[in-house]
Amino acid sequence: MNDFNKAIIEFNNYTKNFSFENKDVKMKYKHTFRVVDYAKDIAISENLNEHDQYLAFLCALLHDIARFKQTTEYGTFNDLLSFDHGDMGYEILIKDDYISKFVNEDEDKKIILKAVKNHNKFDIEEGLTKKELFFAKLVRDADKIDIMDMQGNNINDNNFIVEDELFNAVLNENLVLISNKAKSDIRRIFVTLCFIFDINFKRSFEIIREKKIIERKLNALEGYIEIGKMNIIKNKIFDFLKKWY
Ligand SMILES: [Fe+2]
């Protein structure tokens, strides 16, 4: 059996502690494996050697390990109402050196720990080595691609207000700061649209293009937002993407 399969068995042993009757547990399990696929895809496109491909795979496999505990104990994925799930993932992995079930070398452990801890932050923390930074960026991309693909593609509620904060995030090419504000469908579209401003790899943009992620979000907004504003948003996004597409 190869290391990849051994790691999946270990991950399954961990997730078995949680009830898959809880649809959110099931959802995060599926999300994890889609992120794994994106991470592998990016790793191959970056010509990583086999060991580093395994590290990219592990960063993705373990990035949301704290989500199972979070939904089970708190019934929410809102970090502000429970715990920071990147930080908690880090804690789960260092407790009793659990991470050594997946890798032995200290350098490898640190790479995974930093990637897990930083995957959900607005910015990656300072002080990472070049290699730690590379894997942190890789898992952030893989995670964002899946979230962009799955969330923020429709408007079903009746809240059509585009707050300045959302509009300005597009204009300034920034992520939207996660807050406890009411989550309207428009907000979700903007949050996930602005993920493109924090994508790091060329392959990630290719996947985003292949899956027509941006087009789907802009189509969803069309008709709900004042035409002038909509044009500014479209121009800004297409202008930004020209650098990558
Ligand atoms: Fe996450």
Q: Taking residues 193-210, what's their average pLDDT? A: 97
Percent of the chain clearing pLDDT 70 (strictly above): 99
Q: How much distance in Å is there from the Cα of 226 to the middle of ligand 1?
A: 33
Give the closest residue to 117 by CA, choosing from 70, 73, 85, 142.
85
Q: How much distance in Å is there from the Cα of 229 to the middle of ligand 1?
A: 31
pLDDT digit string, tens, across residues 173-184: 999 988 777 789
Q: How much distance in Å is there from the Cα of 53 to the middle of ligand 1?
A: 20
Angle between helix 50-62 and helix 130-150 axes, rounded to 10 deg: 50
CA distance linking residue 79 with residue 73, whole number of Å = 12
pLDDT digit string, tens, across residues 66-106: 999 999 999 999 999 999 999 999 999 999 999 999 999 99
Specify whether the backbone of 127 is left (phi greater than 0), alpha (psi in -120 to 50) or beta.
left
For residues 160-198, one letter each, b for 16 or more C-beta atoms within 10 angstroms of the residue's C-beta and e for the rest, the string is: eebeeebbebbeeeeebeeeeeeebbbbbbbbbbbbbeb
Q: Contact, 116 vs 86, CB < 8 A?
A: yes
Q: How much distance in Å is there from the Cα of 139 to the middle of ligand 1?
A: 10
Q: How much distance in Å is there from the Cα of 191 to the middle of ligand 1?
A: 15
Distances (CA, A) of 151 to 19, 171, 172: 24, 21, 22
Q: How much distance in Å is there from the Cα of 94 to the middle of ligand 1?
A: 18
pLDDT the model gives residue 178:
81
Q: How much distance in Å is there from the Cα of 151 to the middle of ligand 1?
A: 14
**2: pLDDT confidence band, cut at 50, 70 and 90?**
confident
DSSP letters for 40-83: HHHHHHTT--HHHHHHHHHHHHHTTTHHHHHHHHHS---GGGS-
Angle between helix 23-45 and helix 130-150 axes, rounded to 10 deg: 130
DSSP letters for 191-202: HHHGGGGG---H
Q: How much distance in Å is there from the Cα of 111 to the middle of ligand 1?
A: 16
**243: pLDDT confidence band, cut at 50, 70 and 90?**
confident
Task: Judge whether residue 118 has pLDDT over 90.
Answer: yes
pLDDT the model gives residue 43:
98
Task: Judge whether residue 221 has pLDDT over 90.
Answer: yes
Percent of the chain clearing pLDDT 90 (strictly above): 93
What are the domain boundaries of the chain? 1-126, 151-245
Q: How much distance in Å is there from the Cα of 227 to the middle of ligand 1?
A: 34
**160: pLDDT confidence band, cut at 50, 70 and 90?**
confident
Q: Taking residues 12-18, what's their average pLDDT? A: 97
Q: How much distance in Å is there from the Cα of 235 to the middle of ligand 1?
A: 30
Provide the token pair at 84. 């920071």
CA distance linking residue 116 with residue 215, whole number of Å = 30
CA distance linking residue 27 with residue 25, whole number of Å = 5
pLDDT digit string, tens, across residues 62-76: 999 999 999 999 999
CA distance linking residue 88 with residue 106, whole number of Å = 20
Dihedral of the alpha carbons of 63, 65, 67, 73, in degrees to the nearest 10: -160
Q: How much distance in Å is there from the Cα of 228 to the middle of ligand 1?
A: 35
Provide the token pair at 209. 């293009």
pLDDT the model gives residue 244:
78
